[in-house]
Amino acid sequence: MKIVALVLTLFAAALGALGLLSPTRLLDIVRHFQSPAGLYVAGAFRVILGGALFFAAPTSRAPKAVRILGIIILVAGLFTPLFGVERFHRLLSQWSAQGPMFLRVWAALALAFGLFLAYAVVPKGRRARRTLLIRSKP
């Protein structure tokens, strides 16, 4: 689960980085989720990420924080499909109307959050090398 959590947190950070560089491209990606199926995919991503964080927490650098964030993300994922396509469309319209600087600020927060979670998931020392599948020298 550590590898799954690491990959998904880095993916979330990459989306944040994309939003910093090109807010319009990030909006184009997010618009693909404006359907019931898209909301289910987004919810599934959150559920998988939350579950991976929850199960990776005991060996992480910040076990309590990672476990709590995992639970919050998992619950948010379960409620994502209930958000509704119309409400999602209105929210996306409001966000895009705020301009690129507004989107960049939120993207920077997503980048920072994703990098924090990636850092927190990887344990310190020997366990970190084993987690990342790097063979340690005797």
Q: Which tens digit of pLDDT belongs to each residue from 1-42?
A: 889 999 999 999 999 999 999 999 999 999 999 999 999 999
Residue 79 lies in a domain: yes
Residue 46 lies in a domain: yes
Residue 137 lies in a domain: no
| Separation of alpha carbons 94 and 47, rounded Å | 26
Question: What global pTM score does this model have?
Answer: 0.84
- Work out the number of other CB atoms within 10 angstroms of the CB of residue 138: 2
Residue 136 lies in a domain: no
Residue 35 lies in a domain: yes
Residue 102 lies in a domain: yes
Query: Could you tell me the CA-to-CA distances from 74 to 50, 96, 98 in Å, in that order?
Result: 4, 26, 29
Residue 127 lies in a domain: yes
Tell me which residue range forms the domain holding 125: 2-131
Residue 111 lies in a domain: yes
Number of domains in the chain: 1
